[in-house]
Amino acid sequence: MAFGTSSKVFVATIEDVMEQTALFDFNTHSFKVALYGNSGTPSQTAASADTAYNVGAWITANELYDGAEWAQAGQVLDSPTFVAATNVITFDAADETSVGTSASMANIYGVLIYDDTLAAPVADQGVCYLYTGDTTVTNGTLTVKFNASGIFTITL
């Protein structure tokens, strides 16, 4: 089992948005970024329920966190934006930094971005996952710096 090397938007999430099965609101909902090691195997085509935090590849056994420095279940994305410009729709947020200066987490391979507001039909449904490569912090600070293109983009 391994995280893989890809960054993907979940297909089920796009389907659920278009079918109004899950009422995502990228302008007002609270989204979180959670850290994962190399134990789970994310799938872009996972069923809606299996994209959620603490389900499938995203169970807490695969998650990395460090008490108050980087809380279990992840940190809330600050200043999220959801913008359409010409033919590209972009979801972005401010870079996320651990709270203190003494975080210790070994072998982080990627992150899950999920909707922390959504409660039904799937609570904490995932939006996308991003592969970051093997990263370790020891008694220090972790910063997740999102790409200049955003967290995810949809090009039409």
Partner 1 sequence: MTLPLLASVTRWYCPNCRKQDVTTEKGPHTRFHACPRLCGLMAPMLPVGTKAKVYAVEREDYVGREAVQLDPERRRPIQTVVTVRDDGQDAIMFAPAARLDVRSD
Residues interacting with partner 1, by CB under 8 A?
5-9, 14, 87, 97, 100-102, 104, 108, 111, 128-133, 135-156
Position 16, amino acid: D
95/119 with CB nearer partner 1: 95
d(CA 11, CA 13): 5
How many beta carbons lie within 10 A of that of residue 118, not counting itself? 21
Nearest to residue 6, comparing CAs of 42, 59, 60?
42
Total number of residues shown for the chain: 156
Residue 72 CB, shortest distance to partner 1, in Å, is 18
87/120 with CB nearer partner 1: 87
Residue 62 CB, shortest distance to partner 1, in Å, is 17
57/144 with CB nearer partner 1: 144
Residue 75 CB, shortest distance to partner 1, in Å, is 13
Residue 68 CB, shortest distance to partner 1, in Å, is 13
14/119 with CB nearer partner 1: 14
Phi, psi of 154 (to 5 degrees): -120, 120
C-alpha distances in angstroms, 89 versus 35, 40, 82, 142? Answer: 25, 29, 7, 28
d(CA 148, CA 19): 30
Residue 89 CB, shortest distance to partner 1, in Å, is 9
- Residues sharing a CB contact under 8 Å with residue 4, sequence separation 6 or more, in sequence order: 41, 42, 131
9/46 with CB nearer partner 1: 9
Q: Which two tokens stand for residue 137?
A: 């912090």
